[in-house]
Amino acid sequence: MEIREAGPDDAGQVLDFIRELAEYERLSDRVTAGPEDIAGALSDGRVGVLFALVDGEPAGFALYFFNFSTFVGRSGLYLEDLFVQPAHRGLGLGRRLLESLAATALEHGAERMDWAVLDWNAPAIAFYERLGATHQDDWLPFRLEGEPLKRLAQPAMQSDQNMSEDNLEELLARLNAEIGSGEGLSADQRAALEKIHAAVEQALASPAGGADPVEGMRAYVEELEDSHPTLTLTLGRIMDALNKMGI
């Protein structure tokens, strides 16, 4: 019996454990994650995963990430998932996983560990209490998802889009002036930039159709980066504005 860290190549096994846990918790219909989602989160450090091994094979896992407490000014470790396969329960794997997580928390300067448990899962609640964990009954968890989340975000997103549109008009005027001056540009470069300018205007007029102006700009940003830094900066800012607008 040993504990090891999981990596992006273990995403499939992690997802299998997530699905087994969801089935145990009667929440299978809520699992929409794919292997690429898990692999990406492991690759960029958004989450960490520990495997508990029996005879060299994963028999349980713990998935966690770090949060931050403003009250104490230090990180905390949040345990999102803890699961041991039924055939391997009673071997102390859950405790070993939590011991390793506690060590990980302290190694990263974390002040505490937090997790949630379903209110009907009496065996798990009793297990956690034996470890010295306490139920935080003075806090109520809230969640915002789906349509209510989108509805709440809409005013801010619309405001960002309006700001992007205003900014984009100024940037297009600047690009037009720089193309017009033609300083240091070859005829082919000027023609390409004129096409980009037209493609951006077309995208603004009809966001759902037409060519993707950002693709054309990426190539010229690289080509002009050394010889035309001001023009490169303008193109980069136009791309940022288009991305904010979802174009």
- What is the 8-class DSSP label of residue 144? -
Tens of pLDDT, residue by residue over 14-26, are 999 999 999 999 9
Tokens of 216: 């054309």
CA distance 7 to 9: 5
CA proximity to 181, closest of 228, 220, 223: 228
| Residue 38 burial class via C-beta count within 10 angstroms: exposed 0-12, middle 13-18, buried 19 and up | buried
- The domain locations on the chain are 2-131, 146-244
CA distance 7 to 96: 19
CA distance 225 to 222: 5
- Say whether 220 is catalytic: no
Tens of pLDDT, residue by residue over 109-162, are 999 999 999 999 999 999 999 999 999 989 999 999 999 998 888 877 766 555
Tokens of 217: 């700009």
Contacts of 210 (CB under 8 A, 6+ apart): 199, 202, 203
- Given a cut of 70, is residue 5 above it in pLDDT? yes
Tokens of 179: 């193309």
Query: What confidence tier does 192 reach under pLDDT thresholds 50, 70, 90?
Result: confident
What is the structure's pLDDT at 39? 96
CA distance 3 to 157: 44
The CATH H-level (homologous superfamily) assignment of domain 2-131 is: Gcn5-related N-acetyltransferase (GNAT) (3.40.630.30)
Query: What confidence tier does 222 reach under pLDDT thresholds 50, 70, 90?
Result: low
- Judge contact between 239 and 218, C-beta under 8 A: yes
3 state DSSP class of 51: strand
Q: Which of 24, 78, 128, 220 is catalytic?
A: 128
The mean pLDDT value of the chain amounts to: 86
What is the structure's pLDDT at 195? 78
Tens of pLDDT, residue by residue over 36-69, are 999 999 999 999 999 999 999 999 999 999 999 9
Q: What is the pTM of this model?
A: 0.67
